[in-house]
Chains A and B, each alone.
Chain A
Amino acid sequence: MGVKFDPNLMKDLKAFGLKDANKCMHCGNCTAVCPLSTPENTFPRKLIKYAQMGLKDKILKSPEPWLCYYCGDCSDTCPRGADPGETMMVMRRYLTSQYDWTGFSRKFYTSEKFEIIAISIVGIFIGLALWIFHAGNPNMEHAHLNSVWPAPAIEIADIVMGTILAILLLSNTWRCVKFTMGDLLKKIPLEIYITQAKELVIHFLTQRKFGECTDRMQWIVHLLIMTGYSTVFMLVVVFLAGGIHVIGLSWDEIMFQRDVIYPFFHPVRLLGYYATFAILYGTTYAMIGRLKKSKAQYKNSHGTDWMFLILLQLTTLTGIFIHFTRLLDWPMPTYVLYVIHLMVAVPMLVLEVPFAKWAHLAFRPVVLYLMAVKEKYLQEQKGAA
């Protein structure tokens, strides 16, 4: 029985970076040109219509924003300059903020001031904490991080942070699941959820969908950043697990924050180099693109897009510098860089992972997985009928 027009949504979405969606005349070109749009899930035009009409509920239920990888084809060919790809990006930001029950994400997205202040506060807090809580007699002859900030302490802090983040991210993801699936969520038998689980893994690892886009460069850049980031993330997690002193476990070989230097061909060192290269290449490409507005997806940059790239690049840069200062065995620079490194990395994790752009790392594969589940279910329903 129809829907009500809501004038406020459009204004709200502006804060999330929406600019050109007004101009859409609903020719349907974007949906037909989109390499990822399918007969089951057509987009992006539909979402633009929702935005124009203020249909918040429909947007909340829409999985489509997560199915878009922002290849930009639709924006490049939109006859109206309505930049439909941008609308999809905005939808992702908006949905991220809607999934987030704390309301933090919304603030983060809608106020650049808030964003900068939040990041600065966390950064400064970390800096101060490291300043205050360091060991009494740091090794000033050799670059030994453990002598300044003993691994167990860092691990504790890490685990605390990790748990909080995980709770936040998981709860937000749960809301994402609930919104997108609606009533279906409980109707679909568990079995299908289980059998389709492999999809989740595959999508996460290969970004296969993205490969279907016509602009391969975009997929490569995305894959670089994603794999680079995941590698580092995995290394951190694995090492954390290897040296959980707190509960009495410790496996020296893969203990966290070891002051040994691996031989050049050691897998860990190689992985580290790969990650550094991948992230630096990817982020630099994206930053130049955004500066030059070279492609559709780079034409409109939201504050959070910049913040994301800057933090990531800074984290990586400081990380690799630490690696060099350690190789050179320069204690003081190593310690200073370490502080800076954490002052950047921690806010990035704390704020971006559950509340902003990094959250898509969870939402996208989950939604893709849910769509696979749904499709399977509907197929079975059809078969049964």
Chain B
Amino acid sequence: MEKESQLGGFQGNVQKIATFPYKGTEDNDLEALIQEVTQNEKIKVYTGAKVDKTIGGPGVFEATISQNGTTAAHRIGAIVLAAGWQPYDPDKLDEKLGFGASPNVITNVMFEESFNGGKIGRPSDGKDVTNVAFLQCAGQRDPDHLPYCSSMCCVTALKQALQIKAQNVDANVFVVYKEMRTPGQSEDLYLKAQEEGITFIRCQSPEVKVSDESLAVEAEDELLGEAVLMENLDMVVLATGMVPVTAFGMDITQEEKKKDEEEAKKGEEDLDDIPLDVIRRSELLNLEYRQGPELPALRYDFPDSHFICFPYESRRTGIYPAGCVRRPMGIATAQEDAAGAVMKAIQCIELTSNGAAVHPRSGDMTFPEFAMQRCTQCKRCTVECPFGAINEDEEANPLPQITRCRRCGVCMGACPERIISFKNYSVQMIGAMIKAINVPEEDEEKPRILVLACENDAYAALDMAGINRMKYNAWIRVIPLRCLGSMNLVWIADSLSKGIDGIILLGCKHGDDYQCHFVKGSELADIRLSKVSETLDRLALESERVRFETVSIIDYDRLPAVLDEFAETIDEVGPNPFKGW
């Protein structure tokens, strides 16, 4: 499915490419790849098309694709989102960079688009170029523009500079950089450019000087300690960066806020405590999902995975972003990335067709079941599901789409009516385990402490502490939870009313660098817990009795101390007055 009339994307504009082994520039071989795609009978190509709407979930997606005014619906197993990037708008650049002041100040993207025919000429009159300056990081690595580095523009500048040199050995080509970033083997291209006599200037803030007929760049050369003036330039090329296509379009949470303000409407129950994801109407997939039409974005609007070890795990099951939509990258990486995304897509189809979950509980055959008769349409589950698996019908009943579900149990923890359960995991089950905990009588002077631990990290850490024969307080009883997000408040209430003296929740780190395997589980548990204090007050219990603690899997060295300290606190607070009721 390609929006443009031709396959190939931006690469179609490119004449030469720089890739492994980075010893020089190479011819663009895109055409061969396109041929391969169009000739493969297993690939159906839509060009000049758009996805009007996507419904369903992995294994049962249905995408409505419109092309030339006709629409067709397609059954799809999984989706690779490789919709790429847009160049940063050069009009927004700092005036110092001179864009717009002269036709001969162009961007790296314009360079490719203008000269893919062959000859590189001065934009204003097509004359041969002999003096050219490349200014790197234009509107990049800059809090006022793109705060990140686009990773490929250093290599691109080297490539374009080499192209100019190849056309005219005597050309004077400057690369004014802030930081030369050529990791891995691409360092060789940097060396190659130096060997070809390209001049490098390290400068944090070059200035383009445009007067009637002349173009110059003044750059404070850090490595010389003086400003260098490059005069009589035929062309200045600005290295602008990549913006993922997912960064365009209004954020729906903003929309909703607006709507709320306009209608001054109050929901039946206040759901404002749940932090909402940024989802923009970027018109790529047009998902009919309750939580929004596209993938939730991470920082700077990349719908990437937050996991270092699981880079394909986007927040929507069965939809795998690849290429520059995920993070800025060059072609070599993008190709590998796409292959990886396809791998995940195939795997998703395979697992889903067997009725199993995908990462991280891959192979799990159970799924959440809703006892709908008792549902109050409170929307907790639909809002909280980290993967947007639950839609809503017109009556606001939750409609779980099981193939989108990752089996985290967050919905189960969220549901105030406790009507969501798995075959092997339910509110009642854990409730029964709590019930089974023996609580010493008050006169035994032995408090009882319940630990609800995330089974992925915290529980594993407790395990490690055990293996290392570390000791912690004997009052403690541990119940592992699938994800702390599946913690239902009823367990806290039950425990306290049963006379358990303290409860500590052990979950993964949340916040910007969250480590929760289910993205939001531990955060949601923490939020839920914060509401417990009201309950505690009502019951006239001390708020110290419940606590949330962040632990990672390697924290077993400090875990015993954390638990011991909690036990001490509980001891000080004294026995739970509900004991023996």
Interface residues of A (CB under 8 A from B): 1-5, 7, 10, 22-26, 49, 52-53, 80
Cα separation A2 to B225 with both chains bound (whole Å) = 9
Q: Hey, which chain A residues are within 8 Å of B194, CB to CB?
A: 22-25, 80
B502 to A: closest C-beta gap in Å: 58
Q: What are the interface flags for B179-201 relative to A under an 8 Å C-beta threshold, 1 for contact and 0 otherwise? A: 01000000000110011110110
The 14 sampled A-B contact pairs (Cβ below 8 Å) are A3-B227, A3-B228, A5-B229, A5-B231, A7-B172, A22-B195, A23-B194, A25-B200, A49-B224, A52-B200, A53-B199, A53-B221, A53-B228, A80-B191
**B174 is an interface residue with CB less than 8 A from chain A:** yes
A52 to B174, alpha carbons, bound, how many Å?
11
The distance in angstroms between the C-alpha atoms of A24 and B197, with both chains bound, is 11
Tell me, in angstroms, the Cα distance from A2 to B224 when the chains sit together: 10
Q: What's the Cα separation between A7 and B202 when bound, in Å?
A: 18
Q: A5-B174, A5-B199, A7-B172 are in contact. Are A25 and B190 (CB under 8 A)?
A: yes
Taking the nearest CB of chain B, how far is it from the CB of A332, in angstroms? Answer: 57
Instruction: Chain B residues near A7: list those with CB within 8 A.
Output: 172
Specify which chain A residues have a CB less than 8 angstroms from the CB of B195 in the assembled complex: 22-23
Assembled-state Cα–Cα distance A219/B131 (Å) = 44
Instruction: Verify if B540 is at the interface (C-beta below 8 Å from A).
Output: no
| CB-based closest 5 A-B pairs | A2-B227, A7-B172, A26-B223, A23-B194, A4-B229
Contact check, A2 vs B218: say whether CB atoms are below 8 A apart: yes
Name B224's contact: one of A22, A25, A53 (CB within 8 Å).
Answer: A53
Which residues of B approach A to under 8 Å, CB–CB? 172, 174, 180, 190-191, 194-197, 199-200, 202, 218, 221, 223-224, 226-231
Q: Which residue of B lies closest to A26 (CB)?
A: B223
Complex CA distance for A235 and B172, rounded to whole angstroms: 53
| Interchain CA distance A49-B201 in the complex, whole Å | 10
Nearest-Cβ distance from residue A320 to partner chain B, whole angstroms: 46
Q: How far is the CB of B14 from chain A (nearest CB, A)?
A: 27
Chain B nearest CB, measured from A52 CB (Å): 6
Distance from A47 Cβ to chain B, minimum over Cβ atoms (Å): 11
Nearest Cβ on chain B to A87's Cβ, whole angstroms: 14
Bound together, the chains give a CA A181 to CA B207 distance in angstroms of: 34
Residues on B with beta carbons closer than 8 Å to the beta carbon of A22:
194-197
Q: Please, which residue of chain A has its CB at the minimum distance from the CB of B222?
A: A26
Q: How far is the CB of A15 from chain B (nearest CB, A)?
A: 15
**A26-B200 Cα distance, complex, nearest whole Å:** 10
Identity of the chain B residue whose Cβ is nearest the Cβ of A50 in the assembled complex = B224
15 more A-B residue pairs beyond the given contacts A3-B226, A3-B228, A24-B194, with a C-beta to C-beta distance below 8 A: A2-B226, A2-B228, A5-B172, A5-B229, A5-B231, A10-B197, A22-B194, A23-B194, A25-B180, A26-B223, A49-B223, A49-B224, A53-B199, A53-B221, A80-B191
Which residues of chain B have C-beta atoms less than 8 A from A80's C-beta?
191, 194
Establish whether residues A4 and B231, one from each chain, have CB atoms under 8 Å apart when the complex forms. Answer: yes
- Once bound together, how far apart are the Cα atoms of A1 and B180, in whole Å? 26
User: Which of A1, A2, A5, A53 has the largest count of B CB atoms less than 10 A from its CB?
Assistant: A5
In contact, B230 and A5 (Cβ under 8 angstroms): yes
Does more than half of chain A's interface fall in helix, strand or loop, or is it mixed? mixed
B228 lies within 8 A of A4 (CB): yes
- Chain A residues with CB under 8 Å of B199's CB are 5, 52-53
Query: B96 to chain A: closest CB distance in Å?
Result: 16
Select from chain A the residue with minimum beta-carbon distance to B224: A49
Minimum CB–CB distance from A43 to chain B (whole Å) comes to 14
**Nearest CB in chain B to that of A82: its residue:** B194
- How far is it, in angstroms, between the C-alpha of A129 and the C-alpha of B174 when the chains are bound? 56
A5/B228 contact (C-beta < 8 A), A23-B191, A49-B223, A80-B191 known: yes
Considering the chains assembled together, what is the distance between the CA atoms of A244 and B223 in angstroms? Answer: 57
B residues less than 8 Å from A3 (CB atoms): 224, 226-229
Taken together as a complex, chains A and B put the C-alpha atoms of A10 and B223 apart, in Å, by 18
In whole Å, how far is A1's beta carbon from the nearest beta carbon of chain B?
Answer: 7
Chain A residues with CB under 8 Å of B197's CB are 10, 22
A66 to B143, CA, bound (A): 47
Closest beta carbon of chain A to B89's beta carbon, Å: 31
- Please give the distance in Å from A82's CB to the nearest CB on chain B: 8
Q: How far is the CB of A300 from chain B (nearest CB, A)?
A: 15
- Chain B residues, CB < 8 A from A26: 202, 223
Chain B residue with Cβ nearest A7: B172
Contact of A1 among B190, B227, B231 (CB under 8 A): B227
CA distance A49 to B199 in the complex (A): 10
Q: How many Å lie between the Cα of A4 and that of B219 in the bound state?
A: 10
- A326–chain B nearest beta-carbon distance, Å: 55
In the complex, chain B residues whose CB is within 8 Å of the CB of A53: 199, 221, 224, 228
Bound complex: CA A26 to CA B227 (Å): 17
In the complex, what distance in Å separates the CA atom of A25 from the CA atom of B227?
Answer: 18
What distance in Å separates the Cβ of B166 from its nearest Cβ neighbour in chain A? 16
Task: Report chain A residues within 8 Å CB of B196.
Answer: 22
CB distance from A46 to the nearest CB of B (A): 8
Across-interface contacts of B172 in A (CB, < 8 A)? 5, 7
A49, closest chain B residue (CB): B224
Q: In this complex, what residue of A is CB-closest to B200?
A: A25
Chain A residues with Cβ under 8 A from B229's Cβ? 2-5
How far does the alpha carbon of A24 sit from the alpha carbon of B200 in the complex, in Å? 10
Q: Which residues of B contact A2 (CB under 8 A)?
A: 218, 226-229
B365 CB → nearest A CB, Å: 57
Q: What B residues does A23 contact at CB under 8 A?
A: 191, 194-195
- Set of chain A residues within 8 Å of B227, measured between Cβ atoms: 1-3
Residues of chain A within 8 A (CB-CB) of B190 are 25
Query: How distant is B43 from chain A, measured CB to nearest CB, in Å?
Result: 45
Chain A residue contacts of B228, Cβ below 8 A: 2-5, 53
The complex places the Cα of A2 from the Cα of B201 at a distance, in Å, of 14
**Which residues of chain B are near A49, meaning CB under 8 Å?**
221, 223-224
A5 neighbours in B (Cβ, 8 Å): 172, 174, 199, 228-231
Report the separation of the CA atoms of residues A2 and B223 in the bound assembly, to the nearest whole angstrom: 13
Write out the residue numbers on chain B whose beta carbons fall within 8 Å of the beta carbon of A10: 197
CB distance from B241 to the nearest CB of A (A): 23
* B123 CB, min distance to chain A CBs, angstroms: 22
Q: Across the interface, name the chain B residue whose C-beta is closest to A11.
A: B170
Q: Closest CB of chain A to B203's CB: distance in Å?
A: 12
From A5, which residue of chain B is reached at the shortest CB distance? Answer: B230
Which of B196, B202, B221, B223 has its CB near the most chain A CB atoms (within 10 A)?
B223
Roughly how many angstroms separate A53 CA and B226 CA in the complex, as a whole number? 11
Cα distance, A4 to B228, chains bound together (Å): 6
Q: What residue in chain A is nearest B173 (Cβ atoms)?
A: A7
- A18 CB, min distance to chain B CBs, angstroms: 11
- Closest beta carbon of chain B to A348's beta carbon, Å: 36
Q: How far is the CA of A56 from the CA of B363 in the complex (A)?
A: 72
Bound-complex Cα distance A25 to B194 (A):
8
* A215 CA to B223 CA, complexed, in Å: 29
Provide the bound-state CA to CA distance between A25 and B195, in Å.
Answer: 11
Given the complex, which residues of A lie within 8 Å of B221, measured CB to CB?
A: 49, 53
A79 to chain B, nearest CB (A): 10
A237 to B421 Cα, complex, angstroms: 110
Min Cβ gap B357→A in Å is: 51
Expressed in whole angstroms, the minimum distance between the Cβ of A49 and any Cβ of chain B is: 5
Closest to A14 in B: B197
A2 to B194, CA, bound (A): 23
Q: Which residues of A contact B202 (CB under 8 A)?
A: 26
Which of chain A's residues have a CB closer than 8 A to the CB of B224?
Answer: 3, 49, 53
- Shortest Cβ distance from A81 into B: residue: B191
Q: How far is the CA of A80 from the CA of B226 in the complex (A)?
A: 24
Distance, CA A261 to CA B231, complexed state (A): 69
Q: In the complex, what distance in Å separates the CA atom of A10 from the CA atom of B221?
A: 18
Bound Cα distance A350, B506 (Å): 90
Q: Report the bound CA distance from A10 to B195 in whole Å.
A: 13
B384 to chain A, nearest CB (A): 52
Give B131's nearest chain A residue, CB to CB: A7
Task: Provide the bound-state CA to CA distance between A23 and B194, in Å.
Answer: 5
**CA distance in complex: A80, B180 (Å):** 15
Q: How far is the CA of A26 from the CA of B195 in the complex (A)?
A: 14
Q: Give the residue name and chain of the B residue nearest to A4 (CB).
A: B229
Distance of A27 from chain B, by nearest CB (Å): 10
Complex Cα distance, B231 from A189, in Å, reads: 41
Chain A residue at minimal CB-CB distance from B172 = A7
